[in-house]
């Protein structure tokens, strides 16, 4: 496999990739912290500490959207560097991403996990989301080749 494509990610596309990547990265936190806050809130309400209990319950509801808002705010600072015309050269061993401002070469072996979604391939190093490739940048044949490459690298027992 060896092909080159040009595309320009949109701010909305980057925001969706970020949201999907962080949601997968922080899945446990998205569930565990609100559950813990709600449980503590119920305990406080039962103990008569109404103000604290209500505050904890509000925190349980507000935490997930607040986390997403914070991540998007941080990402907005990078949009000027990400949402530019980009050339991707994809090969069997990795890819190169070239813009007017930077050139990055990455080996597929660097990623411990690559999750395919209908819109993106999301890249993880350990449990940390580290980037994405948009499917729309590739034609159907190229998408199939990438899906096959990534499926072949999946660890045994993962599905």
Higher pLDDT, 2 or 35: 2
pLDDT band at 30 (very low <50, low <70, confident <90, very high): low
Q: What is the pLDDT of residue 26?
A: 66
| Per-residue pLDDT reduced to its tens digit, 98-143 | 999 889 999 999 999 899 999 999 999 988 888 889 999 999 999 9
β-partners of residue 4 are 89
Q: What is the pLDDT of residue 155?
A: 57
CA distances (Å), 148 to each of 63, 122, 143, 151, 154, in order?
A: 38, 15, 9, 5, 10
Crossing angle, helix 27-46 and helix 11-25, to 10 degrees?
60
Q: Which two tokens stand for residue 104?
A: 């990055």
Q: What is the pLDDT of residue 157?
A: 41
pLDDT band at 29 (very low <50, low <70, confident <90, very high): low
| Per-residue pLDDT reduced to its tens digit, 80-96 | 677 889 999 999 999 99
Q: What is the pLDDT of residue 9?
A: 87
The span from the CA of 34 to the CA of 128, in Å, is 21
| Number of H-type helices and E-type strands within the chain | 5, 7
Higher pLDDT, 78 or 90: 90
The span from the CA of 23 to the CA of 122, in Å, is 11
């Amino acid at each position: 496999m060896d092909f080159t494509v040009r595309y320009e990610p949109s701010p909305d596309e980057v925001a969706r990739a970020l949201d999907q990547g962080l949601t997968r990265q922080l899945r446990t936190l998205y569930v565990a912290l609100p559950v813990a806050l709600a449980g503590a809130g119920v305990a406080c309400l039962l103990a008569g500490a109404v103000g604290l209990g209500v505050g904890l319950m509000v925190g349980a509801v507000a935490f997930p959207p607040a986390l997403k808002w914070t991540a998007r705010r941080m990402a907005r600072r990078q949009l000027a560097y990400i949402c530019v015309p980009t050339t991707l050269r994809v090969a069997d061993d990795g890819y190169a991403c070239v813009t007017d401002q930077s050139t990055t070469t990455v080996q597929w072996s660097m990623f411990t996990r690559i999750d395919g979604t209908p819109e993106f391939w999301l890249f993880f190093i350990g449990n940390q989301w580290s980037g994405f490739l948009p499917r729309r940048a590739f034609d159907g044949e190229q998408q199939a080749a990438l899906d096959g490459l990534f499926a072949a690298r999946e660890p045994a027992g993962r599905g």
